[in-house]
A = this chain, B = another copy of it.
Amino acid sequence: MGRVYNFSPGPAVLPPQVMEQAQAEFLDWGGTGISVMEVSHRSPEFMDLAAQSEADLRELLAISENYKVLFLQGGATLQFAAVPLNLATPDQVADYVVTGSWGKKAKTEASRFVQVNVAADAAASHYTTVPNPATWRVTDNAAYLHCTPNETIAGVEMHSIPEVSEAPVVADMSSTLLSRPVDVSRFGLIYAGAQKNIGQAGLTVVIVREDLIGHAVAQTPGVADYRVMADSDSMWNTPATYSWYMASLVFKWLKAQGGLESMAQRNDAKSVKLYSAIDATDFYTNPVEFEYRSRMNIPFTLPDAALDSIFVKESKAAGLINLKGHRSVGGLRASIYNAMPEEGVDALVAFMADFEARHG
């Protein structure tokens, strides 16, 4: 099949330069004579890769020395449990701000390990906005405040974290980390599954302030204990070496692109183009409140849901794939992570105009 633009919400498109390098050295990595996936994680070659990848990530995000960076398995979903297990005792309260499906899942999982207070929930708006921070009901002395800055299904993004609590802020940044600069010092802990902007599924990046490490309850599995994993440089057990390698290539690619300021500009430009196309006609609709629209995941609906499957079919034929909306909300959705080039958005916008002309 020829060149396609992949709008998958995750696992998602990866940079072509990264993919081509990975393919070229698939059988012989760095002169070792074997694949990086056949190399011991404790070999000098892989230890170098691990150290360099951490240094690159620290540089990209300007992470200060008082944070540890972990490269773990288990997905962001294991972190839904690891966060309360490490940061709270079962009788403490943790505040959760729920602005979509992922925040809801995080809250539900956490409720088995900590007393959860839902400080805010955007359910009444069908997750098309973020509740006004002035209305958030935070708890005094909460163990932490959890939020999900970008919700991939409804396409809602909290572009900054309001200062409404003294508690450490914990953020699931699976779908935004590395898409723009982040002031890491505003957070106690950031975690992110890799399969959007970092690399492939199977790796989770955790950035955690040192004072929050070392307090895991006794019933924490070792692989979810930040002290255990930090003390072993994420190698208490065999890490997901190939996923880590792919992330290391993506970090280098991001640096070559000019870093996160540059990515933010490109992502802004891409999302503005697509939202403009949606807003320019009544044929396409995005229901999210303007200031909370996601720059990563852009859902839209057609005037008649019966057209959805035709849109998916015809766009696929045009080389624009994986545009079907999440099964829980229907419609269409374009995920335009870092690795989606502006040309991909241009092609989608052109297709949308053509589709409207034929079906509008």
Across-interface contacts of A322 in B (CB, < 8 A): 40, 43
Measured in the bound complex, the distance between the Cα atoms of B223 and A32 in whole Å is 35
Across-interface contacts of A37 in B (CB, < 8 A): 11, 14, 200-201, 246
B223 and A193 within 8 A (CB): no
Measured in the bound complex, the distance between the Cα atoms of B231 and A245 in whole Å is 31
Contact of A240 (CB < 8 Å), options: B28, B81, B82, B201: B201
Measured in the bound complex, the distance between the Cα atoms of B20 and A37 in whole Å is 13
* A250 shortest CB reach to chain B, Å: 12
Closest to A199 in B: B37
Contacts A19-B35, A201-B37, A238-B10; A77 near B3 (Cβ below 8 A) = no
Contacts A10-B238, A11-B39, A11-B238; A80 near B201 (Cβ below 8 A) = no
Across-interface contacts of A82 in B (CB, < 8 A): 221
B221 and A78 within 8 A (CB): yes
Count A interface residues, CB 8 Å. Answer: 67
* A57 shortest CB reach to chain B, Å: 19
B238 and A75 within 8 A (CB): yes
Across-interface contacts of A22 in B (CB, < 8 A): 26
Measured in the bound complex, the distance between the Cα atoms of B73 and A98 in whole Å is 26
Across-interface contacts of A39 in B (CB, < 8 A): 8, 11
Residues of A within 8 A of B (CB): 1-4, 6, 8-14, 19-20, 22-23, 26-28, 31-35, 37-41, 43, 73-78, 80-82, 85, 109, 112-113, 193, 195, 200-203, 218-219, 221-224, 236-243, 246, 319, 321-322
